[in-house]
Amino acid sequence: MQPFVVELRNLRTGTSEFTWEAGREFFENYGDSGILDAGITVAATVSNHGLTIDVKAKIDGSVTVPCDRCLENLAIAVDTSFEESYTPESSILDISQEVYDYVLTSLPMVRVHPEGECNGETTKYLEEQ
């Protein structure tokens, strides 16, 4: 089974729990997201009401991005969630796009190491300018 995909024909009425893991490869499928590495876990509660499907998902883990100041790797914690309702139009429910979007929008606009933790050689060069 693909990550973040629920086979609706096998989904019982009521609530089901799913847990998925995703890494760098997941983000690479979306092109240039700026994510260098990742380790995220998505825990989802899927409620099948017959005509509609409700999803409550909790996303935890971390992603690695380049620091905006020194360009060295910077690990950023991810802790976000979303709730969506769907009216399925096929036999699968794919929440991959939502997971991708919520991870990216949870990241700070300015991605820099804490003060004093940037690459010293790079920051020394920047200070000379």
Q: Per the confidence metrics, is the pTM higher than 0.85?
A: yes
Domains in the chain with CATH codes: 5-128 (3.30.450)
pLDDT by residue (tens digit) across 71-104?
999 999 999 999 999 999 999 999 999 999 999 9
Helix ranges (DSSP H) in the chain: 24-28, 96-106, 120-128
Position 6 pLDDT exceeds 70: yes
Per-residue HEC secondary structure of 68-93 comes to: CCCCCEEEEEEEEEEEEEECCCCCEE
